[in-house]
Chain A
Amino acid sequence: GDSVTQMEGPVTLSEEAFLTINCTYTATGYPSLFWYVQYPGEGLQLLLKATKADDKGSNKGFEATYRKETTSFHLEKGSVQVSDSAVYFCALYLGFQKLVFGTGTRLLVSP
């Protein structure tokens, strides 16, 4: 079935370090792919998305490229800040607002 696999956390980084959170997916067809972020006590916020192969989504310094050949959508940021500390979810879209989420990766950034 359709599924998303994310790297386990927590990912612990110092401020200004480079961030990569791996995400791979299994799906029939070519779904849209999303990254959502959840801050403590909050709901999910859309961070970025890509709708077709080789699309690059970007927002707030975060980037992810839809790689059909490797079925991946890895999240990257060149220089993380303490305020980026949150849980990040990779998700694929199956239609009619059904999102299939990965297990989430907690990011902890220290000053």
Chain B
Amino acid sequence: GAGVSQSPSNKVTEKGKDVELRCDPISGHTALYWYRQSLGQGLEFLIYFQGNSAPDKSGLPSDRFSAERTGGSVSTLTIQRTQQEDSAVYLCASTNQGNTEAFFGQGTRLTVV
């Protein structure tokens, strides 16, 4: 597609449920990032995928968070046993190389009630 696509755009879930957030990067982009933006906070790095290399998971806040990138394209961020503090906007970005600009999706607004 023309840009980074994220789905769903909004998700309301009950505390304790699992959620999956999807990111469809720009075709041909080798790098993919997930960030989290909480109300009044900056952007918090979660995970980074680059080609076939092992992902950089150093930003995942707990073992309830995991992400996959299948076939070097679509990525899914999974949050298990959601907590209220997981409520945030989850942003995905893709880029062609490490030093060129990243293109961001519109984000998924997750609300845990």
A is bound by B: no
